[in-house]
């Protein structure tokens, strides 16, 4: 007869095990870098290649890359797996923390609503879904730390099921990932973040009105937090819209998780800009966006995205009339005048710096810029008009080259490398100035500062004088576009001109 160990020993061992599990669960999320990139909506699928791009990610100063893959892409037939795109990405990673893989539940044979891309759909059989996710994670053999399920499910263009079906499938996703790799982390499918918390103000204005229809997205994720709050490790909040709305939105989601007893670290799975509808001049084209999203939500009989010929004709007409359109519209269009193209990239450069500074100051530990790759859509596609210039790499013949905004991204990551925390420093005598103190650990402190202005015309106004106490012996100032800024310290006060372009201040040359 086998002799059992004493009960006290077994209880002690169990307590030690539970303690280690609790410590692992409570371990803070500390990515190697707060900066990351999403490649694009297609990677090795639908005729798009699966290129090596992590070297570009690293050269831009980021530490993590993300790809979007589809059930139909990986398992085109039951039990038949195509690992080519998955392996092409995973083989580029130097560590598991460098990779995020997002899996769309899009399938011609396995989903309730057949689709090759979008929208994703509830699985016909959750066991088949479990097998797909489990086999995919297992195939990677622990080489990928972060896994994400279907993104932006509050939008019918991305998820064709109910919130109840999403919650049920999230639980299966979580179980499949953890069974295949206990060290893996599950990211709750990204909330598009298109909402404004009540009472939010910007720049001394009155309360910002809510985003139309935002109550649906808020209710969708409130349900997920209530019913599946234990089925994710990280919460993905997308941070489009104005950078000045980042902090109140992050605070709102954090408060809701805390109130429901499921608080987890928040990451930003997508951000970018400027947004087409950030400019009032483009509001007249909102019906084209609505029609496009409605078509995305209803793929054709082959499961492929529908294309609205009416919308395409309307956008083609915009190109015919480009010269007469508002410059805020023209700059989003392919082949716009060079001066507007350059202006767009300058606005984009400022925007991405502001977004990262606000996100870091809100406690976001990792953010993924959307997107790195050129956008594959056709010119007369509304998605191309809205997002066609978000890419930081652009085609130059058979190769890719950096845009001006990509250089700005690399400049930002060089200054902010080693960041531990970011805090706003209010200047009572000049509330329009946004000044942030950056703790870079052993690299020492830095500051980022800019003046609150309208994004399009703000660069046309002259800079304003700015000053605050600073005990450095020397100061070096350069803005987000790489231009040197005249800054000097006199009697313990730093003085410099500040405009709409963020300026970096460091005690030595960077």
Strand partners, 66: 38, 100
Task: Indicate the angle between helix axes 286-296 and 309-320, nearest 10 degrees.
Answer: 150
Transcribe 133-178 into DSSP letters.
Answer: HHHHHHHHTT---EEE--S-TTSTTTB-S-HHHHHHHHHHHHHHHH
pTM over cut 0.85: yes
Q: For residues 210 and 16, which has the higher predicted lDDT (pLDDT)?
A: 210
> pLDDT (tens digit, 9 = 90+) per residue, 213-249?
999 999 999 999 999 999 999 999 999 999 999 999 9
d(CA 253, CA 249): 6
Write down the pLDDT at residue 127: 98
Binned at pLDDT 50, 70 and 90, residue 133 comes out as very high
40: three-class secondary structure by DSSP:
coil
Does the structure show a pLDDT above 90 at 452?
yes
- What average pLDDT does the segment 31-41 reach? 93
> pLDDT (tens digit, 9 = 90+) per residue, 242-274?
999 999 999 999 999 999 999 999 999 999 999
Write down the pLDDT at residue 396: 84
| Long-range Cβ contact pairs of 51-55 (< 8 A, separation 24 or more) | 51/88, 52/88, 52/92, 53/92, 53/372, 53/373, 54/92, 54/93, 54/94, 54/98, 55/92
Token output for 354: 């502001």
Write down the pLDDT at residue 510: 67
- What letter does residue 108 receive in the DSSP assignment? T
Q: For residues 203 and 93, which has the higher predicted lDDT (pLDDT)?
A: 93
Write down the pLDDT at residue 397: 82
Token output for 60: 């831009």
421-506: which CATH architecture?
A: Sandwich (2.60)
Percent of the chain clearing pLDDT 70 (strictly above): 94
Superfamily for the 30-416 domain: Glycosidases (3.20.20.80)
Query: Domain limits of the chain?
Result: 30-416, 421-506
Write down the pLDDT at residue 467: 97
Token output for 64: 């993590």
- What average pLDDT does the segment 397-425 reach? 95
Binned at pLDDT 50, 70 and 90, residue 398 comes out as confident
> pLDDT (tens digit, 9 = 90+) per residue, 96-107?
999 999 999 999
Write down the pLDDT at residue 273: 95
Q: What are phi and psi of 268, to 5 degrees?
A: -110, 105
Write down the pLDDT at residue 28: 60
Binned at pLDDT 50, 70 and 90, residue 301 comes out as low
Does the structure show a pLDDT above 90 at 304?
no
Write down the pLDDT at residue 296: 81
Say if strands 493-498 and 433-439 run parallel, antiparallel, or are unpaired: unpaired
Count the alpha carbons within 13 Å of 143 in the hemisphere toward its beta carbon: 14
Instruction: Please name the helix (run of DSSP H) or strand (run of DSSP E) that holds residue 330, with its range, or none.
Output: helix 327-330
Burial of 442 by CB count in 10 Å (0-12 exposed, 13-18 middle, 19+ buried)? Answer: exposed
Write down the pLDDT at residue 332: 98
Lowest mean pLDDT: which of 35-49, 200-214, 324-338?
Answer: 200-214
Count the alpha carbons within 13 Å of 74 in the hemisphere toward its beta carbon: 25
Q: Mean pLDDT, the chain, as a whole number? A: 92
């Amino acid at each position: 007869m086998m002799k059992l160990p004493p009960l006290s020993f077994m209880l002690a061992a169990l307590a030690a095990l539970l303690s280690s599990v609790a410590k692992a669960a409570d371990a803070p999320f500390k990515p190697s870098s707060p900066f990351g990139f999403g490649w694009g909506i297609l990677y090795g699928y639908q005729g798009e290649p699966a290129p090596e791009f992590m070297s570009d990610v690293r050269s831009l100063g980021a530490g993590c890359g993300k790809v979007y893959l589809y059930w139909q892409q990986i398992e085109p037939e039951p039990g038949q797996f195509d690992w080519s795109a998955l392996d092409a990405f995973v083989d580029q990673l130097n560590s598991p923390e460098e990779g995020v893989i997002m899996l769309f539940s899009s399938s011609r044979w396995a989903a309730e609503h057949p689709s090759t891309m979008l929208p994703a759909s509830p699985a016909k059989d959750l066991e088949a879904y479990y097998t797909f996710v489990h086999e995919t994670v297992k195939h990677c053999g622990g080489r990928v730390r972060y896994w994400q399920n279907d993104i932006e499910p509050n939008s019918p263009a991305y998820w064709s099921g109910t919130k109840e079906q999403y919650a049920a499938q999230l639980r299966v996703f979580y179980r499949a990932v953890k069974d295949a790799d206990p060290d893996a982390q599950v990211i709750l499918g990204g909330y598009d973040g298109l909402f404004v918390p009540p009472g939010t103000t910007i720049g001394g204005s009155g309360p910002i009105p809510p985003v139309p229809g935002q109550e649906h997205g808020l209710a969708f994720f409130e349900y997920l937090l209530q019913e599946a709050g234990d089925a994710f490790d990280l919460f993905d909040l997308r941070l489009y819209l104005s950078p000045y709305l980042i902090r109140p939105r992050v605070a709102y989601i954090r408060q809701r998780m805390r109130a429901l007893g499921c608080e987890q670290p928040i990451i930003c799975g997508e951000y970018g800009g400027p947004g087409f509808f950030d400019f009032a001049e483009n509001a007249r084209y909102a019906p084209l966006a609505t029609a496009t999203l409605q078509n995305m939500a209803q793929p054709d009989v082959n499961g492929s995205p529908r294309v609205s010929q009416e919308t395409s004709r309307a956008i083609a007409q915009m190109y015919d009339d480009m010269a007469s359109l508002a410059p805020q519209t023209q700059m989003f269009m392919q082949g716009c005048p060079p001066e507007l193209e350059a202006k767009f990239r300058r606005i984009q450069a400022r925007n991405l710096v502001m977004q990262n500074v606000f996100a870091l100051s809100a406690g976001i530990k990792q953010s993924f810029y959307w997107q790195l790759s050129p956008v594959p859509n056709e010119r007369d596609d509304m998605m191309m008009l809205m997002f066609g210039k978000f890419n930081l790499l652009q085609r130059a013949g058979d190769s890719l080259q950096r845009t001006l905004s990509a250089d700005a991204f690399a400049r930002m990551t060089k200054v902010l490398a080693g960041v531990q925390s970011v805090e706003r420093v209010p200047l009572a005598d000049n509330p329009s100035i946004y000044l942030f103190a950056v703790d870079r650990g052993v690299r020492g402190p830095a500051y980022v500062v800019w003046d609150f202005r309208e994004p399009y015309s703000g660069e046309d106004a002259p800079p304003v004088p700015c000053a605050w106490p600073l005990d450095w012996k020397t100061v070096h100032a350069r803005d987000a576009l790489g231009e040197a800024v005249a800054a000097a310290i006199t009697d313990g006060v730093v003085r410099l001109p500040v405009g709409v372009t963020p300026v970096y201040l460091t005690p030595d040359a960077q």
